[in-house]
Amino acid sequence: MERIVLHVDFDYFYAQCEEVRRPELRSKPVCVCVFSGRGGDSGAVATANYAARKFGAGSGIPISLAKRRLEGTGAEFLPVDFAHYDGVSDAAMHVMRGHADVFERVGRDEAYLDVTARTGGDYARATHLAQQLKNAVRAAVSLSCSVGVSPNRMLSKVASDHKKPDGLTVVRPKGAAAFLAPLGLRAIPGIGGKTEKRLAAMGLATVGDLARLDVFALNREFGRRAGTHLYNAARGIDGEPVQERGESLQYGRITTLKRDSAEYEFLEPVLLELCGQVCAAAAADSRAFRSVGVHLVLSDMAVRTRSRMLRGPTCSLAELQRAACHLLRGALEEPGTARRLGVRVADLSGSAGQGDITSYF
């Protein structure tokens, strides 16, 4: 039987969470901000409600720019409160899980649901289920969301994005090609700014245009994996199953420095603190790691990474710090000034018996 997959996306999630706990915010523009702590307004907008977006103050733009665009509107600029959003997200995810045969959480505000069995592959029943899910989420956490219903993940993600906020878009298998063809290339998950530009240079603007290219040309231009993905996506084809997410494959933490710097002595204490946070995150899940990475974002936003494998898995903070400091020294040997600094661990083992079994001997 052909699958039916739902994609659920909470509308302007962080900002809506703030509206729910402070209803007086609903009448004005709201920007939820990540203040980076260098100047008063340094940082970026994580999420904004629609009243703010109307003025061009949306996700990802500098806070100072958002303030300029929202001058005189009575807009609110709130700092992110992840602990609160996590609680709301957990409650909403719990409700949604009960509507799925297979449930896959993606971040704080997205989920995929395979509902094939419980709908018998019937779109009328799936549409009804999607509406019930929206009602249940609203009843539980007062949050609106947008839902896509289709035969696969990719199409459902595009569909959930099609009508927002509070949307419900159903794409039946027979309607997939007609649904996708007029959409801009950016509608396809996996096509970001870079890929869109390359495709535009090839004279393409819509998904319909993309669907006219043959798979060989796409593989030649974008590599085998990405090329095949583009070819299939343009046709509404996606065989990826909905799967409960297992444990993380990596843990990382990055921060913006109080000031740009290329001096090891200035960066080291920041690095050690980041190591502590990353180590704690891994330890919370009882995971050991074998790969350690240091990540620099330079003043010009260029990225420099250095990583190394340890001799064996560890969960020692001291060992992580030793490796990270070594990597940082190496990274600073080339010219450039750091704006942001990050630490990452990977090659995880532990907990559910991941990693190389031989590492236990």
Partner DNA sequence: CCCTCGATCAC
Partner DNA sequence: CCTCATATCGAGGG
Q: Using CB under 7 A, which of 23, 72, 98, 193 touches DNA?
A: 193
Closest CB to DNA among residues 25, 188:
188
Three-state DSSP class for residue 105? strand
- State which residue, 39 or 175, has the beta carbon closest to DNA: 39
110 part of the active site = yes
How far apart, in whole angstroms, are the C-alpha atoms of residue 37 and residue 349? 35
Residue with Cβ nearer DNA (179 or 289):
289
By CB under 7 A, is residue 34 in contact with DNA? Answer: yes
141/136 Cα distance (integer angstroms): 9
The dihedral formed by the CA atoms of 171, 175, 177 and 183, expressed in degrees to the nearest 10: -50
Per-residue contact string for residues 200-239; x = within reach of DNA by CB under 7 A: -----------------------xxxx-------------
How many whole angstroms from its chain centre is CA 123?
28
* Minimum distance from residue 46 beta carbon to DNA (Å): 5
Q: Does 73 bind DNA (CB under 7 A)?
A: no
Contacts of DNA in 282-311 (CB under 7 A)? 291, 293, 301-309
User: 218, 227 in Cβ contact below 8 A?
Assistant: yes
Q: According to the binding rule CB under 7 A, does residue 253 interact with DNA?
A: yes
Residues 30, 31, 46, 176: which binds DNA (CB under 7 A)?
Answer: 46
Contacts of 2 (CB under 8 A, 6+ apart): 116, 121, 151, 173
The Cα 73–Cα 47 span in angstroms is 17
The one catalytic residue in 18, 76, 104, 110 is 110
Let me know if 304 is exposed, middle or buried by CB neighbors in 10 A (0-12, 13-18, 19+).
Answer: middle
Instruction: Decide whether 11 or 110 has the Cβ nearer to DNA.
Output: 110
List binders of DNA among 324-343 (CB under 7 A). 327, 330, 339-340, 342
Q: Is 106 in the site for DNA (CB under 7 A)?
A: yes
Q: Minimum CB separation from DNA for residue 310, in Å?
A: 9
H-state helical runs in the chain: 13-21, 50-53, 63-69, 82-97, 116-119, 123-141, 153-162, 176-180, 193-201, 207-210, 215-222, 224-234, 264-284, 317-331
Angle at the Cα of 341 from the Cα atoms of 340 and 343, rounded to 5 degrees: 150
> Of 139-178, which residues contact DNA (CB under 7 A)?
none
Q: Which of 194, 201, 214, 358 binds DNA (CB under 7 A)?
A: 194
Per CB under 7 A, 60 contacts DNA: yes
DSSP, res 107: T
Cα separation, 151 vs 204, in Å, equals 26
In angstroms, what is the minimal distance from the CB of 196 to DNA? 6
Closest CA to 49 of 9, 80, 76, 74: 76
* Minimum distance from residue 7 beta carbon to DNA (Å): 10
Q: Is 250 in the site for DNA (CB under 7 A)?
A: yes
Q: Which of 17, 31, 43, 350 binds DNA (CB under 7 A)?
A: 43
Other Cβ atoms within 10 Å of 138 Cβ, number: 15
Comparison of 107 and 120: residue with beta carbon closer to DNA: 107
Enter the tokens of residue 62.
Answer: 């500098």
With respect to DNA, which residue has the nearer C-beta, 30 or 119? 30
Paired strand residues for 291: 309, 346
Q: Whose Cβ is closer to DNA: residue 122's or residue 244's? A: 244
- Residues near DNA, by CB under 7 A: 34, 36, 38-39, 41-44, 46, 59-60, 62-65, 106-110, 188-196, 223-226, 248-256, 281, 291, 293, 301-309, 327, 330, 339-340, 342, 344
Q: Catalytic residue numbers? A: 110
